[in-house]
Amino acid sequence: MINYRVLKKLVAAALVGGFVITAQAGPEEDRQAFVDSYKWKFPNVPMEEYVNGVYAIDKVGRENWEAIEEFPPYEIFIDEGLTMWEKPFANGKSYKDCFPEGPGIAHKYPHWDKQQGMVMTLPLALNQCLEANGEKPLKYKKGPINNILSYIAFESRGQVTNLEIPQDDPRAMEAYEEGKKFYFTRRGQLNFSCATCHLQNTGMQVRTEILSPSVGHTTHWPVYRSKWGTVGTLHRRFSGCNNNIRAKALEAQGEQYRNLEYFLTSLSNGLELNGPGARK
């Protein structure tokens, strides 16, 4: 189902609203090309607004969202997360021992883990902490992982996304390129790539939904989604997106989604973290 003809064309010379991404471009050039494309479409939206996702460009939706944010639906999850953070494991240790820099650490993820040779995300690091201490790992899409993630996100508010791809391990750039390739690859029976909706057609409507820009996509997770009736992870959203286009959802925290998160997060470099978020 993957349309390689289109992929080749897009990755080699993606036309981004008149701006061109070349295959040789580095992450910063990629980010700038995305930003230029959105600025061309939405000249009056200031950069710092992009952390608000679709509400940066959807006036009507924004009013409803601001009303929701008056009494944030994710608050109880933050409280539950604080309890998890404080509660000792069976061996007497706690999350604090794994993350001595404190709970405000979301801006440090994802990052390249040279030792393990993989993109390390925050949910993965949390589970490695649990397993190292003889605890059962948490599920990656639904449930309590969202509590601890909500607390960490809240404590990380105001930190700035600054994903740096290390130069001393070529596998890091490969992971970025894999994520970028995923983003531009059409998939599923409906033949959409991430770029189809979130780059080429940002601001357009499917039914009443306005398609959001990818710059800012990663700043506010986990998200309380009214459709879910609870808080869910970024990778749960990836799966939902893949299901919508009738593609097989991939494994949450599997290599492909982690690499996608690596690429996507790089697009938000310079933007403040503002999680947890609320969406309809």
Binding site for another protein (CB under 8 A): 1, 3, 5-6, 9-10, 15, 189-192, 196-197, 200-201, 204-209, 211
Active-site residue, 98 included? no
Q: In this complex, which beta carbon is closest to another protein, that of residue 44 or of residue 189? A: 189
Shortest distance, position 49 Cβ to another protein, whole Å: 22
In the bound complex, what is the minimum distance in angstroms from residue 241's beta carbon to another protein? 15
Q: How far is the CB of 21 from another protein (least distance, A)?
A: 14
| Residue closer to another protein, measured from CB, 13 or 160 | 13
- Least Cα distance to 105 among 120, 92, 90 occurs for 120
Shortest CB 235 distance to another protein, Å: 25
CA dist 214 and 194 (Å) reads: 9
Name which of 58 and 261 has its Cβ closer to another protein: 58
The catalytically annotated residue of 98, 129, 197, 241 is: 241
Q: Which is nearer to another protein, 1 or 132 (CB)?
A: 1
Active site residues: 241
